[in-house]
Amino acid sequence: MTLHTLSHAQERDRQDKLAPYKNEFYIPANSIYMDGNSLGLLSKRAERTLHELLNTWKTLGIDGWTEGEHPWFYLSEQVGEKMAPLVGGMQGETIATGSTTTNLHQLVSTFYKPDGNKTKILADELNFPSDIYALKSQLQLKGYDPDEHLVRVKSRDGRYLQEDDIIEAMTTDVALIALPAVLYRSGQVLDMEKLTKAAHERNIPIGFDLCHSIGAVEHQLHDWGTDFAFWCTYKHLNGGPGSVGGLFIHEKHFGKTPGLAGWFGSKKGSQFDMDHKMDPAEDAGAYQIGTPHVLSLAPVIGSLEMFEEVGMAAIREKSLELTAYMLELVEQELTDANFIIGNPVDETRGGHLLLEHEEAARICKALKEDGVIPDFRTPNGIRLAPVALYNSFEDVWHTVQKLKVIMDEKRYEKFENKRGVVA
């Protein structure tokens, strides 16, 4: 039996302990879904908990804040605690609130304290644009020119970052560091422990964007001493479009005044005292700004049940196996297709692969027509994410075979090499 055969993939699926979880998800009809790093699929459990929260509103009205299976008043804290094992957080260090960018604004407002010549924020040139927009606006709010005070570490090859280059940029004028845990294009996993240690040796607070890492790779943020982190829940956590984000605050910062204050950051016992002097929560709960988005939190509750059952170690193990298998098939079946593998081939890759090709936009359209859902990233990237909970080795085999036919027969040529409005 060779890697080329369908029977080999099916045998690996028979041995896969996580294979039954595929039945927990709604897979789009007649398709192979390889875009879970952009939007995870709906699970039956997420659907169930959404209906449960809707029913609470339907049957209890305002009493849903304190009654029912999931009282709304405590929902952000409870969901945050369920996310703690996914980031290596301790009691009270995680909270489900806001969105990726609003949480970044909150955290930069809290931890960016320019003083004297220590005024710069250190980021990187490969980061997702939304993070850069937020960092620039925070500098402008403090009266600093982003062109001068936002330092972006250069990539040597346009795909990866070197941790040593980042550390070299941790100069005496840097007041804050904000980096991705996993690069959204290439899928490179940064050495967060090494970077945190280096930042703290230079007395610089550091935080990470976990959007492409939470639910896909393991973290030990508390043990590493990482100051803060933030993430979305609609990618690998399968919380649904626009589902509520999350953030981590190391316990050493408990009691620190959040940069942006809001009513729901109050201690629970005193929140309804209606005092104009805020009594903030003593843990990550203090970083909430607004009322919990109950119906957007509801699916996350059901989704997290599976992560609790399986554990991140098993998810990461299968994720690495799936991506390794896809890499092997790409190298064997697509040798003449002029693809460049744009992701790390060792275990510093996250949960997705990046195939670069000058016809990438057209190839993605051809894949969709043939029932494979990929993700295009400008200018020439095809991201494929075989997700541990709902993708199989057979999915990977069929994906590569369909891609081989598309390239051999040049089926992509009938499409325009231009991205859609959403890509």
Assign 3-class secondary structure to the chain. CCCCCHHHHHHHHHCCCCHHHHHHECCCCCCEECECCCCCCCEHHHHHHHHHHHHHHHHHHHHHHCCCCCCHHHHHHHHHHHHHHHHCCCCCCEEECCCHHHHHHHHHHHHCCCECCECEEEEECCCCHHHHHHHHHHHHHCCCCHHHHEEEECCCCCCCCCHHHHHHCCCCCEEEEEEECECCCCCEECCHHHHHHHHHHCCCCEEEECCCCCCCCCCCHHHHCCCEEEECCCCCCCCCCCCCCEEEECHHHCCCCCCCCCHHHECCCCHHHCCCCCCECCCHHHHCCCCCCHHHHHHHHHHHHHHHHHCHHHHHHHHHHHHHHHHHHHHHHCCCCCCEECCCCCCCECCCEEEECCCHHHHHHHHHHCCEECEEECCCEEEEECCCCCCCHHHHHHHHHHHHHHHHCCHHHHCCCCCCCCC
Q: Is 224 marked as a binding-site residue?
A: no
Q: Is 291 marked as a binding-site residue?
A: yes
Select which of 209, 283, 375, 395 is catalytic. Answer: 209
Q: Is 101 marked as a binding-site residue?
A: yes
Select which of 74, 128, 254, 415 is catalytic. Answer: 128
Select which of 21, 25, 228, 234 is catalytic. Answer: 234
Is-catalytic flag, 235? yes
Is-catalytic flag, 128? yes
Is-catalytic flag, 234? yes
Select which of 12, 22, 136, 235 is catalytic. Answer: 235
Q: Is 287 marked as a binding-site residue?
A: no
Select which of 362, 383, 402, 411 is catalytic. Answer: 383
Is-catalytic flag, 256? no
Q: Is 348 marked as a binding-site residue?
A: no
Q: Is 263 marked as a binding-site residue?
A: yes
Q: Is 31 marked as a binding-site residue?
A: no
Q: Is 208 marked as a binding-site residue?
A: no
Is-catalytic flag, 375? no
Q: Is 339 marked as a binding-site residue?
A: no
Binding residues for pyridoxal 5'-phosphate: 100-101, 128-131, 209, 212, 234, 263, 291
Active site residues: 128, 209, 234-235, 383
Binding residues: 100-101, 128-131, 209, 212, 234, 263, 291
